[in-house]
């Protein structure tokens, strides 16, 4: 494809390195230029309108163009655009949001530390786990277990817990303290006649066998998304989290709930932990915490997790960690206002009310001759296409056809993912899936 000289498209190809593309051939297709957003819609630079079927990157809960958030950002920018929380300094917005998160947490949490992205947060959790192991005089208890198809980000430690080969290849990941167990994909991996609960017990037995093989005295933590999202949306089968947590408790292994996508209403409760009865030691939040209007993430930890960390810092004389943007005043002010909007407009309730039609339409799509299965809960779901000769070709063709029909959906290989803004109306759900069905008809 050729673009006008000096156009955004041409300058994008010239200057910007993009994630998740073949860099060398990027210029052959270039990018869709999105110019503005309103509600569940975004508009490209020709004025064409799209339903954002993935809420940006699973994140714009309150929709685009929410003026309350831009007003709060402007007011905070005018008053105090930046300050830090290093050493003995603080500011109101970071304290207000930390207090709010502690009040909202599904299990008693003691402290909050702010970061700017999900990767950064998960990376720091790994550092804290290692610091804590040293504090407890158990320096060998540092291995971390993630899951195949789990996604926790792309920095060195978080990328190592991520269980996706495409994120490891040639980056020399994973780090050697990281291990992975199976993705809890009952539909794809169950033995003949194996019920969901039997499958969940088998997944827990696999985890236990790994912990025993490594030596429980070497295994520190298990990281899991309540619903695995970026790996292709896998809703845990019945009893999965109960069985997994029993094994973790037995061997004194910490549980880190990565709520970066599930948090703030995606599964029909405020947190995925509530939907599945998960009692984590650490929770990681991002994305819908600010509807991604500002980069923001947060780590919440229990007192039992925090206390040894605090003792170690006293022993050393300081806590030798900190990011310039931790608790950034504009980001935390926007985060708090965003959570107020989620609560005042009952967007968690809207998720629950819209969910039955959302899931029914996914099921309808799965009955299409080009599709084979669906998965979903709340307002997050996926449809698997029957693969063509080359893996990913059907997904890519669908993604392009959906854009032509005015929907942005994300194809992960041949899995089509849907995760619209939580404000989506009944009519918008029908319009999105009508367009998606036409796109599916159009590909061959
Ligand atoms: N954890 C989960 C569950 C995610 O889905 C993501 C991003 O999609 C991350 C962590 C990484 O977040 P970020 O892209 O902000 O680094």
- Give the torsion sign (CA, 58, 59, 62, 66): negative
Q: Which residues contact 319 (CB under 8 A, 6 or more apart)?
A: 309, 313
Residue-wise pLDDT for 338-387, tens only, equals: 999 999 999 999 999 999 999 999 999 999 999 999 999 999 999 999 98
Q: Rounded to the nearest whole angstrom, what is the distance from the C-alpha of residue 117 to the centroid of ligand 1?
A: 7
The span from the CA of 24 to the CA of 293, in Å, is 31
As assigned by CATH, the class of the 70-344 domain is: alpha beta
Q: Rounded to the nearest whole angstrom, what is the distance from the C-alpha of residue 61 to the centroid of ligand 1?
A: 15
Mean pLDDT score, 41-60 = 98
Q: Rounded to the nearest whole angstrom, what is the distance from the C-alpha of residue 261 to the centroid of ligand 1?
A: 7
The answer, yes or no, to whether any atom of ligand 1 lies below 6 A from the CB of 119, is yes
Residue 65 Rama label (left phi>0; alpha psi -120 to 50; beta): left
The answer, yes or no, to whether any atom of ligand 1 lies below 6 A from the CB of 229, is yes
Residue-wise pLDDT for 198-209, tens only, equals: 999 999 999 999
The answer, yes or no, to whether any atom of ligand 1 lies below 6 A from the CB of 152, is yes
The answer, yes or no, to whether any atom of ligand 1 lies below 6 A from the CB of 286, is yes
Q: Which residues contact 223 (CB under 8 A, 6 or more apart)?
A: 122, 125, 144, 145, 146, 147, 150, 152, 161, 256, 258
Q: Are 288 and 264 in contact (CB under 8 A)?
A: yes
Q: Rounded to the nearest whole angstrom, what is the distance from the C-alpha of residue 68 to the centroid of ligand 1?
A: 25
Ligand 1: atom nearest CA of 284 is 1
- Residue 337: pLDDT band (50, 70, 90) is very high
The span from the CA of 211 to the CA of 203, in Å, is 13
Q: Rounded to the nearest whole angstrom, what is the distance from the C-alpha of residue 118 to the centroid of ligand 1?
A: 4
Q: Which residues contact 72 (CB under 8 A, 6 or more apart)?
A: 333, 334, 337
Q: Rounded to the nearest whole angstrom, what is the distance from the C-alpha of residue 44 to the centroid of ligand 1?
A: 25
Q: What DSSP character marks residue 163?
A: -
pLDDT at residue 92 greater than cutoff 90: yes
Three-class SS state of 75: helix
Q: Rounded to the nearest whole angstrom, what is the distance from the C-alpha of residue 153 to the centroid of ligand 1?
A: 5
The span from the CA of 64 to the CA of 72, in Å, is 15
Whose CA is closest to 91, among 339, 319, 327, 340? Answer: 327
Mutation pick for ligand 1 pocket among 286, 291, 292 (CB with most ligand atoms within 8 Å): 286
The DSSP H or E segment spanning 44 is strand 41-44
Q: Rounded to the nearest whole angstrom, what is the distance from the C-alpha of residue 123 to the centroid of ligand 1?
A: 11
Q: At what angle do helices 329-344 and 67-79 cross, to 10 degrees?
A: 150
The answer, yes or no, to whether any atom of ligand 1 lies below 6 A from the CB of 407, is no
The DSSP H or E segment spanning 34 is strand 34-38
CATH, range 32-62+346-442 = 3.90.1150.10
Q: Which residues pair with 52 in a beta bridge?
A: 408
CA atoms within 13 A on the CB side of 333: 22
Domain boundaries, the chain: 32-62+346-442, 70-344
The answer, yes or no, to whether any atom of ligand 1 lies below 6 A from the CB of 288, is no
Whose CA is closest to 93, among 77, 116, 110? Answer: 77
- Residue 286: pLDDT band (50, 70, 90) is very high
Q: Rounded to the nearest whole angstrom, what is the distance from the C-alpha of residue 287 to the centroid of ligand 1?
A: 8
Q: Are 294 and 77 in contact (CB under 8 A)?
A: no
Three-class SS state of 40: coil
Mutation pick for ligand 1 pocket among 147, 153, 271 (CB with most ligand atoms within 8 Å): 153
Q: Rounded to the nearest whole angstrom, what is the distance from the C-alpha of residue 280 to the centroid of ligand 1?
A: 18
- Residue 2: pLDDT band (50, 70, 90) is confident
What is the percentage of the chain residues whose pLDDT exceeds 90?
A: 98
Say which residue, 160 or 444, is predicted with more confidence: 160
Mutation pick for ligand 1 pocket among 60, 118, 125 (CB with most ligand atoms within 8 Å): 118
pLDDT at residue 1 greater than cutoff 90: no
Q: Are 93 and 296 in contact (CB under 8 A)?
A: no
Ligand 1: atom nearest CA of 119 is 16
- Give the torsion sign (CA, 20, 24, 29, 35): positive
pLDDT of amino acid 389:
85
- Residue 270: pLDDT band (50, 70, 90) is very high
ipTM: 0.99
The answer, yes or no, to whether any atom of ligand 1 lies below 6 A from the CB of 123, is no
Q: Rounded to the nearest whole angstrom, what is the distance from the C-alpha of residue 363 to the centroid of ligand 1?
A: 27
Q: Are 345 and 194 in contact (CB under 8 A)?
A: no
The span from the CA of 349 to the CA of 67, in Å, is 22
Contacts 24+ apart (CB under 8 A), 394-400: 394/370, 394/443, 397/443, 398/439, 398/440, 398/443
The answer, yes or no, to whether any atom of ligand 1 lies below 6 A from the CB of 149, is no
CA atoms within 13 A on the CB side of 335: 31
Whose CA is closest to 304, among 129, 94, 67? Answer: 129
Residue-wise pLDDT for 75-90, tens only, equals: 999 999 999 999 999 9
Residue-wise pLDDT for 209-267, tens only, equals: 999 999 999 999 999 999 999 999 999 999 999 999 999 999 999 999 999 999 999 99
The answer, yes or no, to whether any atom of ligand 1 lies below 6 A from the CB of 290, is no
pLDDT, mean over the chain: 97
The string of DSSP codes covering 308-341 is HHHHHHHHHSS-----TTTT-HHHHHHHHHHHHH
The DSSP H or E segment spanning 343 is helix 329-344
Mean pLDDT score, 256-282 = 98
């Amino acid at each position: 494809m050729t673009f006008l000289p000096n156009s955004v498209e041409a300058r994008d190809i010239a200057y910007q390195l993009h994630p998740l593309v073949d860099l060398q051939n990027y210029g052959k297709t270039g990018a869709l230029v999105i110019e503005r957003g309103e509600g569940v819609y975004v508009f490209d630079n020709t004025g064409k309108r799209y339903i954002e079927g993935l809420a940006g990157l699973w994140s714009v809960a309150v929709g685009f163009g929410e003026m309350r958030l831009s007003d709060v950002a402007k007011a905070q920018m005018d008053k105090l655009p930046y300050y830090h929380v290093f050493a003995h300094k603080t500011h109101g917005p970071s304290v207000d949001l930390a207090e709010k998160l502690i009040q909202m947490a599904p299990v008693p949490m003691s402290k909050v530390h702010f970061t700017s992205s999900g990767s950064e947060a998960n990376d720091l959790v790994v550092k804290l786990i290692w610091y804590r192991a040293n504090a407890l005089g158990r320096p060998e208890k540092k291995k971390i277990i993630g899951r195949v198809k789990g996604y926790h980000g792309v920095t060195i430690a978080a990328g190592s817990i991520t269980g996706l080969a495409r994120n490891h290849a040639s980056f020399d990941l994973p780090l050697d303290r990281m291990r992975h167990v199976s993705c809890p994909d009952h539909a794809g991996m169950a033995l003949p006649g194996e019920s969901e609960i039997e499958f969940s017990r088998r997944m827990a037995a696999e985890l236990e066998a790994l912990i025993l093989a490594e030596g429980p005295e070497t295994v520190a933590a298990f990281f899991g998304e309540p619903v695995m999202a970026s790996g292709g949306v896998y809703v845990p089968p019945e009893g999965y989290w109960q069985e997994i947590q029993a094994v973790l408790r037995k061997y004194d292994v910490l549980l880190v709930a990565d709520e970066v996508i599930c948090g703030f209403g995606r599964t029909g409760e405020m947190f995925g932990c509530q939907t599945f009865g998960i009692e984590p030691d650490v929770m990681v939040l991002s994305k819908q915490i600010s509807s991604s209007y500002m980069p923001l993430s947060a780590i919440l930890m229990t007192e039992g997790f925090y206390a040894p960390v605090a003792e170690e810092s006293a022993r050393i004389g300081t806590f030798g960690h900190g990011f310039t943007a931790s608790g950034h005043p504009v980001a935390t002010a926007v985060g708090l206002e965003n959570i107020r909007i989620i609560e005042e407009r009952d967007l968690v309730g809207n998720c629950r009310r819209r969910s039955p039609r959302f899931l029914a339409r996914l099921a309808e799509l799965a009955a299409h001759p080009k599709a084979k299965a669906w998965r979903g809960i709340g307002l997050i779901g996926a449809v698997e296409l029957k693969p063509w000769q080359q893996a990913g070709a059907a997904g890519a063709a669908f993604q392009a056809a959906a854009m032509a029909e005015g929907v942005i959906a994300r194809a992960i290989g041949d899995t089509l993912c849907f995760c619209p803004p939580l404000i989506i109306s009944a009519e918008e759900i029908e319009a999105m899936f009508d367009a998606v069905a036409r796109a599916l008809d159009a590909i061959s």
